[in-house]
Amino acid sequence: EAQVTQNPRYLITVTGKKLTVTCSQNMNHEYMSWYRQDPGLGLRQIYYSMNVEVTDKGDVPEGYKVSRKEKRNFPLILESPSPNQTSLYFCASSSETSGASYEQYFGPGTRLTVT
Partner 1 sequence: LAKTTQPISMDSYEGQEVNITCSHNNIATNDYITWYQQFPSQGPRFIIQGYKTKVTNEVASLFIPADRKSSTLSLPRVSLSDTAVYYCLVGDIGSPSNYQLIWGAGTKLIIKP
Residue nearer to partner 1 on the CB measure, 61 or 63: 61
**94 forms part of the interface with partner 1 (CB under 8 A):** yes
**35 forms part of the interface with partner 1 (CB under 8 A):** yes
CA 115, chain centre distance (Å)? 21
Q: What are the E-state strand segments in 52-86?
A: 54-57, 65-66, 76-78
User: What's the CA gap between 72 and 104, in Å, rounded?
Assistant: 14
Among the residue ranges 20-28, 62-70, 71-79, 91-99, the one whose residues contact partner 1 (CB under 8 A)? 91-99
**62 forms part of the interface with partner 1 (CB under 8 A):** no
User: What's the CA gap between 55 and 22, in Å, rounded?
Assistant: 16
The residues binding partner 1 (CB under 8 A) are 4, 31, 33, 35, 40-45, 48, 50, 56-59, 88, 90, 92, 94, 96-109, 111
